[in-house]
């Protein structure tokens, strides 16, 4: 490959998977191999590509394809690039690679959110690298800035939009007034939603990414099981309209924050001010807002998914790992020294927007307000509207422990004058 020093031994790479992302990795390697070699200081040699059904990959040279992933990762390669996804058998394959001294580049957020500790331990024991920029927010450089650029700072909060499918749906609901079901169908038609969108719309994808971000930002082991999670299926056009009346919009947020010597991590829809930097992030784009002591507020924005954008992140890691291999150095390992406790959302101070269908009679507001006072939840704003069967009451609270807010809503739901709790949504950002 042109650009590399003549006679320099190639860096041998094995790839696991050749789907949407893997195919783009191969394309860029083919088109830009000379430039990549020049940046690394040695050519990249693709040793093999492990796939389940070789006949589905006619564009890949057949001598590179194999169905024996185990043999490939044990062969004479320097780096294993994993773009398969899922937990098993990938976890075992990557542990095998790392324990044999082969560095790993992975785009697997689910695996890293569950088993990062084991993978890092194997990497450290063998002196190998584990890089995973592509696991969070696609092409957006986020993992490396948190691991390296901000390593000298104290990060207090990471809040962002880390799932393109849900952001496309909520953005469309906001701009058109359409229902969740209608916009999900549109997202599927345009290719923004998978055939089974559960991981996206129910928040599992965002929760895995939040666990990874919190682990890095707070030097604490956080798994997906530690993340409070709500999806967007219950968001209605009425919720979107209510947010607009408050000068807000609804986004599915991943929120990681320090709270009095502990860490809280949550994923849920929330109303945020339209003036917030995240409010203008539309379509399938991602953005993450980072707050640090010395650096202040930073925002990272870009394409959070897709074959080519994610391949860009994979190849950025590949170049970094290959350089480390040639120089005899290593990138950062796991940093979990802080070991902060992860607290449940019940202990987190949040704000609620509560919409109630109520009886059209005197005393309703006072009865509802009494329940809020009983639970020491302060009311920031109240709006009553409608008559008869259309009577409604909307309450926005001040900050209070989430447990107190939940208990308040549960008791309000049992009042004789309350026909139904129509919706409950958290509110983020400055009080208004």
Question: Active-site residues: which are they?
Answer: 209
> Helical H runs in 278-417?
307-327, 364-374, 402-413
Helix or strand (DSSP H, E) at 274 = none
244 C-beta neighbours (distance < 10 Å), count: 15
327 C-beta neighbours (distance < 10 Å), count: 9
Please tell me the distance from the alpha carbon of residue 275 to that of residue 27, in angstroms, as a whole number: 40
Residues making up the chain, counted from first to last: 432
Please tell me the distance from the alpha carbon of residue 262 to that of residue 286, in angstroms, as a whole number: 27
Please tell me the distance from the alpha carbon of residue 96 to that of residue 73, in angstroms, as a whole number: 7
Q: At what angle do helices 164-176 and 180-189 cross, to 10 degrees?
A: 120
Q: Which of 103, 135, 133, 134 is nearest to 119 (CA)?
A: 103
Helix or strand (DSSP H, E) at 137 = none
**Alpha carbon 414 to chain centroid distance?**
36
**If phi over 0 gives left and psi between -120 and 50 gives alpha, with beta otherwise, what is residue 261?**
left
Please tell me the distance from the alpha carbon of residue 323 to that of residue 325, in angstroms, as a whole number: 5
């Amino acid at each position: 490959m042109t650009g590399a020093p003549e006679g320099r031994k190639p860096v041998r790479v094995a790839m696991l998977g050749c789907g949407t992302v893997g195919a783009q990795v191969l394309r860029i390697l083919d088109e830009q191999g000379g430039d990549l070699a020049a940046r690394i200081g040695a050519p990249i040699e693709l040793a093999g590509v492990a796939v389940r059904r070789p006949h589905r990959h006619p564009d890949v040279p057949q001598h590179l394809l194999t169905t024996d992933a185990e043999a490939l990762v044990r062969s004479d390669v320097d780096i294993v690039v994993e773009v398969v996804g899922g937990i098993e058998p990938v976890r075992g394959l990557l542990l095998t690679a790392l324990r044999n001294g082969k560095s790993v580049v992975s785009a697997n957020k689910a695996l890293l959110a569950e088993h990062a500790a084991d993978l890092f331990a194997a990497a450290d024991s063998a002196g190998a690298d584990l890089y995973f920029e592509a696991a969070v927010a696609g092409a957006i450089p986020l993992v490396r800035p948190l691991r390296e650029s901000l390593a000298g700072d104290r990060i207090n909060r990471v809040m962002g939009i880390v799932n393109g499918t849900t952001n496309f749906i909520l953005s469309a609901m906001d701009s058109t007034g359409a229902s969740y079901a209608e916009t999900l169908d549109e997202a599927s038609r345009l290719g923004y939603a998978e055939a089974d969108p559960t991981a996206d719309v129910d928040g599992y994808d965002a929760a895995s990414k939040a666990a990874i971000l919190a682990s890095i930002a707070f030097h604490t082991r956080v798994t997906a099981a530690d993340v409070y999670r709500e999806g967007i299926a219950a968001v209605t056009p009425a919720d979107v309209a209510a947010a607009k009346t408050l000068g807000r919009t609804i986004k599915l947020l991943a929120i990681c924050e320090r709270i009095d010597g502990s860490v809280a991590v949550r994923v849920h829809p929330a109303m945020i001010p339209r003036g917030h930097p995240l409010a203008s992030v539309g379509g399938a784009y991602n953005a993450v807002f980072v707050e640090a002591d010395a650096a202040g507020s930073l925002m990272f924005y870009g394409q959070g998914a897709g074959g080519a954008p994610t391949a860009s992140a994979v190849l950025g890691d590949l170049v970094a790992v290959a350089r480390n291999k040639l120089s005899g150095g290593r990138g950062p390992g796991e940093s979990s020294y802080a070991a902060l406790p992860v607290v449940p959302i019940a202990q987190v101070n949040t704000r609620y927007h509560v919409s109630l269908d109520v009886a059209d009679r005197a005393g309703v507001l006072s009865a509802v307000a009494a329940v809020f006072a009983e639970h020491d939840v302060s009311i920031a704003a109240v709006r009553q509207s409608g008559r008869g069967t259309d009577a409604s009451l909307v309450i926005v609270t001040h900050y209070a422990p989430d447990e107190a807010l939940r208990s308040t809503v549960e008791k309000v739901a049992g009042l004789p004058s309350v026909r139904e709790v129509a919706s409950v949504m958290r509110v983020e950002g400055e009080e208004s």
